[in-house]
A = this chain, B = another copy of it.
Amino acid sequence: MSNKIPYRFYLSEDQMPKAWYNLRADMPEQPDPLLNPATHQPIKTEDLYPIFCEKLAQQETDSTTPYFEIPEPVREMYRIYRPSPLIRAYNLEKALDTPAKIYYKFEGNNTSGSHKLNSAIAQAYYAKEQGLTSLTTETGAGQWGTALSEACSYFGIPLTVFMVKVSYQQKPYRKAVMQTFDANVIPSPSDTTEVGRKILAENPNTTGSLGCAISEAVEKAVTTPGCRYVLGSVLNQVLLHQSVIGLECETAMNILGEYPDIVIGCAGGGSNLGGLIAPFMRDKLKGKHNPRIIAVEPASCPSFTRGRYAYDFCDTGHVTPLARMYTLGSEFIPSANHAGGLRYHGMSPILSKLYHDGYMEAVAVEQTKVFEAATFFAKHETILPAPESSHAIRAAIDEAIRCRETGEAKTILFGLTGTGYFDMVAYSSYHDGKMTDYIPSDADLQKGFDKLPKVD
């Protein structure tokens, strides 16, 4: 390698992580346990077996094992699309005239178009290993459904995806991608489940919701022999699998002789953010380094910056355990915000605890500012970013501009989680000047808080 840091840096296969890192093992205080929604008693690992496959339930509740070996079949599939590049944003730096050094980890170079595949592969593999014969999940925007379809097709395990009906109708291409990978895609609500039939009877014209799709997917999983449910964010197991992102960053930056002063990730349920920051947060918790760690969320769905740290349901259908997290209330309906993947009322319990204890910062950004950053980034770095990812771009640009003003040559690392090819309706609305911002009022938020379950 020449002295100059390359535009794109790829680890060799030998340098790829052989184990996932479990951040909980190094946290001074643990997140509060999941609770049974009826009894409010802590959930035991085996209580989760009817819903999740056993290995995943164990990963979900294990807060002491620091490293989990990545099974060889998972590493084999990772090698088809990983390592992902660590990119030095030379052109963005030049365009911003900043002394900051900007790096981003790009997770969009796979058919799912996002980082979601990292956990989908793990979850499909463990299900296959346990001898399960089918899986269910839900999908809204479609990236998670696509990723899981790819993984299930690869390991040969049938998958049913409950796709929110409005997305099913508006995004036929997403559906077609999942079908290419043999997934059975059902618009939700459907007449294939009890809960779906009930909702249809009450409201035949409903276009569905993520909460309803989750409820259908869970019902089908627990009522079908050999079937389990899988989820693409929020859960501890998902953050564990996504640590592959941060671990690759750490190795690559180490080889390049760099360490980030600031680590930035977008935050919906926390899957990308938790994976990206894992090794850097570890260094911070151990006092080895002191990077600033920044979560970026939409101003329209501000769980960190304006939510409550409280026990709540993970879904709107109230079929899941209670988790203590930053939440806007499980019945909070975000506005028609185009950054679909960040429209979630809650937040990963691990990240919530870290934020609550002061180890992370959070900022909320408005949609038009996000698309301004996305368009600027695309022109200079040639990658068309997903709206979700562009929240991190916005914050990275803002930090780089601050460096220009102060003259500090800080090293900024952000996560570019995916591409925006299926989000052009939102881009068009921005180009045409039709995009608006929405910030919920305190009264709007109070309605959500009022419905939080009462837990002593």
Contact = CB atoms under 8 A, between A and B. Distances in A.
Interface of A: 1-2, 6-8, 10, 12-14, 77, 79-81, 87, 91, 109-111, 113, 117, 150, 153-154, 172-173, 176-177, 179-182, 375, 378-384, 419, 421-422, 424-425, 427-428, 431
19 contacts: A1-B12, A7-B79, A7-B80, A8-B79, A80-B91, A110-B383, A111-B378, A111-B382, A111-B384, A172-B428, A173-B422, A176-B424, A177-B384, A177-B424, A179-B431, A180-B384, A180-B431, A182-B379, A421-B422
A378 B1 CA distance: 34
A8 B182 CA distance: 25
Contacts of A176: 424-425, 427-428, 431
A-B pairs, top 4 by smallest CB distance, nearest first, are: A173-B424, A176-B424, A7-B79, A176-B428
A236 to B, nearest CB: 26
A383 B111 contact: yes
A81 B179 contact: no
A14 B1 CA distance: 7
Contacts of A7: 13, 79-80
Contacts of A77: 382
B382 A154 contact: yes
A382 B110 contact: yes
A154 B382 CA distance: 8
Given A113-B421, A180-B375, 14 more contacts: A1-B14, A2-B13, A8-B80, A77-B382, A110-B382, A110-B383, A154-B379, A172-B428, A173-B421, A176-B424, A176-B425, A176-B431, A177-B424, A182-B379
Contact of A382 (B12, B87, B150, B179): B150
A176 B435 CA distance: 14
A179 B427 CA distance: 9
Contact of A379 (B109, B181, B384): B181
Nearest to A91: B80
Contacts of A111: 378, 382-384, 419
A151 to B, nearest CB: 9
A172 B382 contact: no
Given A80-B7, A422-B421, A378 B154 contact: no
Contacts of A154: 91, 379-380, 382
A181 B378 CA distance: 7
Interface-centre pick from A153, A176, A380, A421 (highest chain B CB count, 10 A): A176
A379 B153 contact: yes
Nearest to A106: B109
A383 B150 CA distance: 9
A23 B379 CA distance: 33
A450 B355 CA distance: 75
Contacts of A375: 180
Nearest to A422: B421
Nearest to A383: B111
Contacts of A110: 382-383
Contacts of A79: 6-8
Which of A91, A173, A382, A424 lies at the interface centre, i.e. has the most chain B CB atoms within 10 A of its CB?
A382
A451 to B, nearest CB: 38
Contacts of A422: 173, 421
Contacts of A179: 427-428, 431
